[in-house]
Amino acid sequence: MQLKPQGLSEESEVSPRDMAARAAWLSFVGGLTQDQIAQQLGISRQRAQRLVARASAEGLIRVRIEHPIAACLDLERALKARFGLEQARVSPALAAGSDPLLGLAPFVAPELERIFEAEGPKVFALGTGRTLKTVVEHLRTVEGAHHKLVSLIGNVAPDGSASFYEVIMRFAEKTRARHYPMSAPVSARDDVELALYRSLPHVKASRALAKSADLAIVGIGQLGDDAPLYVDGFLTAGELTDLRTAGGVGEICGHIFDRDGRYLDHPVNHRMVGVQVPEGRMPVYCVGAGASKVPALRAALQGRLLAGLFTDEETARELISK
Amino acid sequence: MQLKPQGLSEESEVSPRDMAARAAWLSFVGGLTQDQIAQQLGISRQRAQRLVARASAEGLIRVRIEHPIAACLDLERALKARFGLEQARVSPALAAGSDPLLGLAPFVAPELERIFEAEGPKVFALGTGRTLKTVVEHLRTVEGAHHKLVSLIGNVAPDGSASFYEVIMRFAEKTRARHYPMSAPVSARDDVELALYRSLPHVKASRALAKSADLAIVGIGQLGDDAPLYVDGFLTAGELTDLRTAGGVGEICGHIFDRDGRYLDHPVNHRMVGVQVPEGRMPVYCVGAGASKVPALRAALQGRLLAGLFTDEETARELISK
DNA sequence: TCATGATATGGGCAAATGCTCAAATCTAAT
DNA sequence: ATTAGATTTGAGCATTTGCCCATATCATGA
């Protein structure tokens, strides 16, 4: 019978994660075979293999390709020229059928780190959505206590459930930045309610801070039958049809715009508690890729809503092709 | 007979490196098998394998383990406490017999990038040597045009050959930082020559800039029979013996110190054209690992010459073990 | 035009890897 | 103490990968 040693020697406190990290280090950096790793760590070959697999699965390993692929650089240049962007980054294509985020997220994360690590205190305004959430999951922890993060959009769904894609909290966790979520519903039900929400001090403060942001980072949504706004219950089927009839093709932070990137003059837009970007002088950087998002992206670019774009090769090609 | 298309279509200009990078991206980020990669790129399986191998060989791939191994964190804490360091980083051990730089260099490079990316314009003073050279080779290109790099040590060997380990030039290449090598011999032959070199305007300027540096980054040398200073011809066999008799155990930027980290009062030290660190208030960060360097490192730490240390697990363990 | 050396290509095979399954071990609740 | 359930372990095997070698292609100079 063995008792677990309780802090007796600092040596013996080895978490399974540590082992996984160590095995991964030996494998990827050291280039050892699994047999050698097993030998080195005094474990079986299978265990070594499992540790390495686990490290990969848990995202302990970050791979970065140092060489900018010429084709992607070309696309970046083309995007900048065509749409007057100050920033454009294009990730190389992965397998045709796969989720665009598979490649985009690990590509964008270091770019964001870079932006975040730069210079003095900044205010970053954040959108939400699956795209941004996935990107933020790929961020490494980076010191940023001098920055502020503020949400561009409410965090309460119509059914009252909070935090549908809590981008800002996860981001703040990784950076220790001060964060200001917009603790209010995404959308009000009528003008009275809207006025009420917007008069709440913390909402007022968040909106003011967001408007003064140095950079907004947002995703983009499409208005097809599987529009995220509809799927997540922010729009009824009727509203969705109505918006499409009115010319809506895409949406940023829940604000719907037409094919020229002009925000619709529609009740749905008027009831949003959050901020309609760009507000003031803030540059808006958008992350998004995938065939379904092309019309929305094209519209947003056309209407000069965006100052920066992170996308993948296939999407970029589509965007400049017409 | 086919003529090579000359910029006809931007599409067909694909460098082999691009292909390698793309294959590597598909393999590491996308997790595709070589067969799938081959299919995707329309090439044979063998070619795909060769491309991935090539990408690895050419260093296009940077792997980073996200999880700080607890054992290494413990060692870092111990080093900081024991030797009053402001910074200490310990890389996980690789195979016992292998070159310590194999693991240390890819570990230190991102740390350096981090330091370099931080805040406003800074002056970085650099040493030389195989260790620093290898680390700098692992740096990714990072914008740093607002920084200045200055060499702590002359760049001309006794035989007149320039640049024995041109750390500063390679560093500057990657960062576009302004750089000030010390274009002078490492060591003068007598006091008159020393005075002469030191009176040269560009040497004077470099030395002054180096002394005002915000951070010095140096390697460390040992004084065994294979002392780098001796192997590279900066010391004669006689001088080496003499220095060891006088108590010399290690050297930073060619300045020799004893086991308590006190610089020797010896002609060899007095004839160095470069700067003897630390000068003024500059913190000195040292990169170094390996059994042979332990005595030198211990001495430098003992004498509080260093404010920061980057080393590997094995060396760290040695350093705090006694 | 042809010869010559250098480089690239694909076949084949041994080593390394990933995965499944059954046995073993551990955990926790009775 | 016992047992049911969950997790971990190692053997076996199919797949994938790395590498050598014979052949083909390309570039270069006579």
Whichever domain contains A21, its CATH number is 1.10.10.10
Residue of A nearest to B30 (CA): A94
Q: Is the CB of A12 under 7 A from strand D?
A: no
Instruction: Indicate whether A234 and A291 sit together in one domain.
Output: yes
Instruction: Please state, as a whole number, how many other Cβ atoms lie within 10 Å of the Cβ of residue B270.
Output: 16
B269: pLDDT strictly greater than 50: yes
Average confidence (pLDDT) over A94-107:
82
Query: Cβ(A274)–Cβ(A182) under 8 Å?
Result: yes
Instruction: Please state, as a whole number, how many other Cβ atoms lie within 10 Å of the Cβ of residue A199.
Output: 9
B79: pLDDT strictly greater than 90: yes
When the pLDDT of each residue in chain B is averaged and rounded to a whole number, the result is: 85
Distance CA A229, CA A316 (A): 24
Higher pLDDT, A62 or B219: B219
Query: Cβ(A131)–Cβ(A288) under 8 Å?
Result: yes
Nucleotides of C under 7 A from a protein CB: 8-12, 15-20
Instruction: Indicate whether B51 and B113 sit together in one domain.
Output: no
Question: What is the pLDDT, as a whole number, of residue A1?
Answer: 30
Instruction: Indicate whether B184 and B53 sit together in one domain.
Output: no
Reference A129, options A266, A316, A289; nearest CA is A289
User: Residue B14 is which amino acid?
Assistant: V
Average confidence (pLDDT) over B151-178:
79
Question: What is the pLDDT, as a whole number, of residue A7?
Answer: 30
- Name residues whose C-beta falls within 8 Å of residue A131's C-beta, 6 or more positions apart in sequence: A101, A104, A105, A219, A220, A287, A288
A158: pLDDT strictly greater than 60: yes
- Cis before residue A283, ω within 30 degrees of 0? no
Q: Is the CB of B35 under 7 A from strand D?
A: yes
Question: Quick one: pLDDT band at residue B288, thresholds 50, 70, 90?
Answer: very high
Q: Is B284 among the domain residues? A: yes
Both structure tokens of B43: 């090439």
Higher pLDDT, A183 or A218: A218
Question: Quick one: pLDDT band at residue B2, thresholds 50, 70, 90?
Answer: very low
Instruction: Indicate whether A94 and A178 sit together in one domain.
Output: yes
Reference B104, options B95, B115, B93; nearest CA is B93
* Three-state secondary structure call for residue B77: helix
B6: pLDDT strictly greater than 60: no
Question: Quick one: pLDDT band at residue B169, thresholds 50, 70, 90?
Answer: confident
Instruction: Indicate whether A167 and A294 sit together in one domain.
Output: yes
Distance CA B117, CA B33 (A): 36
Distance CA B169, CA B180 (A): 9
Question: Quick one: pLDDT band at residue A2, thresholds 50, 70, 90?
Answer: very low
B195: pLDDT strictly greater than 50: yes
Instruction: Indicate whether A117 and A192 sit together in one domain.
Output: yes
From residue B39, give the alpha-carbon distance in Å to each of A92, A303, B19, B22.
16, 39, 13, 13
**pLDDT over 70, % of chain A:** 92
- The residue assigned the tokens 């310590």 is B100
Q: How far is CA A318 from the centre of its chain?
A: 21
Both structure tokens of B88: 């200490």
Q: Is B203 among the domain residues? A: yes
Instruction: Indicate whether A20 and A129 sit together in one domain.
Output: no
For the segment A67-95, what is each residue's pLDDT rounded down to a tens digit?
888 788 888 889 998 999 999 999 988 87
Instruction: Indicate whether B79 and B37 sit together in one domain.
Output: no
B54: pLDDT strictly greater than 80: yes
* Three-state secondary structure call for residue A97: coil
Which stretch of A7-21, B49-63, B67-81 has the lowest confidence by average pLDDT? Answer: A7-21
Question: What is the pLDDT, as a whole number, of residue A303?
Answer: 93
Higher pLDDT, B235 or B309: B309
What are the two backbone dihedrals, phi and then psi, of residue A24, each rounded to the nearest 5 degrees? -65, -40
Q: Is B3 among the domain residues? A: no
Q: Is B263 among the domain residues? A: yes
Higher pLDDT, A102 or B286: B286
Average confidence (pLDDT) over B46-57:
86
Residue of A nearest to B70 (CA): A18
Measured CA B147 to C1' C19 distance, in angstroms: 51
Beta carbon pairs, A and B, within 8 Å: 141
Instruction: Indicate whether A137 and A49 sit together in one domain.
Output: no
Question: What is the pLDDT, as a whole number, of residue B165?
Answer: 66
Distance CA B75, CA B81 (A): 10
Instruction: Indicate whether A47 and A124 sit together in one domain.
Output: no
**pLDDT over 90, % of chain B:** 36
CB-based contact (8 Å) between A25 and chain B? yes
Residue of A nearest to B107 (CA): A29
Higher pLDDT, A228 or A41: A228
Tell me the residue range of the domain where B14 lies.
10-57
B31 Rama class: left (phi>0) / alpha (psi -120 to 50) / beta: left
Question: What is the pLDDT, as a whole number, of residue A8?
Answer: 28
CB-based contact (8 Å) between B177 and chain A? no
Average confidence (pLDDT) over B218-238:
90
Question: What is the pLDDT, as a whole number, of residue A4?
Answer: 32
Reference A252, options A287, A269, A277, A227; nearest CA is A277
B232: pLDDT strictly greater than 70: yes
From residue B276, give the alpha-carbon distance in Å to each of A102, B34, B228.
51, 53, 18
Give how many domains chain B has, as a whole number: 2
Both structure tokens of B93: 């051990």
Q: Is B251 among the domain residues? A: yes
Distance CA A19, CA A21 (A): 5
Say which CATH number the domain at A307 has: 3.40.50.1360
Distance CA B309, CA B300 (A): 10
User: Residue A186 is which amino acid?
Assistant: V
For the segment A24-38, what is each residue's pLDDT rounded down to a tens digit?
888 888 888 888 888
Higher pLDDT, B14 or B99: B99
Question: What is the pLDDT, as a whole number, of residue A10?
Answer: 33
Average confidence (pLDDT) over A138-156:
86
Question: What is the pLDDT, as a whole number, of residue B108?
Answer: 92
Higher pLDDT, A41 or A285: A285
Which stretch of A67-71, A275-279, A296-300, B255-259 has the lowest confidence by average pLDDT? Answer: A67-71
Both structure tokens of A80: 């900048």
Q: Is B64 among the domain residues? A: no
- Which positions 139-168 of A are in contact with B (Cβ < 8 Å)? 140
B75: pLDDT strictly greater than 60: yes
Instruction: Indicate whether B43 and B127 sit together in one domain.
Output: no
Q: Is A1 among the domain residues? A: no
Q: How far is CA B185 from the centre of its chain?
A: 21
Measured CA A267 to C1' C13 distance, in angstroms: 70
Distance CA A43, CA A20 (A): 12
Give contacts of A32 with chain B, Cβ < 8 Å: 94-95
Provide the shortest C-alpha distance from residue B132 to chain A (in Å). Answer: 18
Instruction: Indicate whether B201 and B238 sit together in one domain.
Output: yes
B9: pLDDT strictly greater than 60: no
Which of A29, A61, A95 minimises the CB distance to B30? Answer: A95
Q: Is A2 among the domain residues? A: no
* Three-state secondary structure call for residue B269: helix
Average confidence (pLDDT) over A279-290:
91
Question: What is the pLDDT, as a whole number, of residue A11?
Answer: 35
A176: pLDDT strictly greater than 50: yes
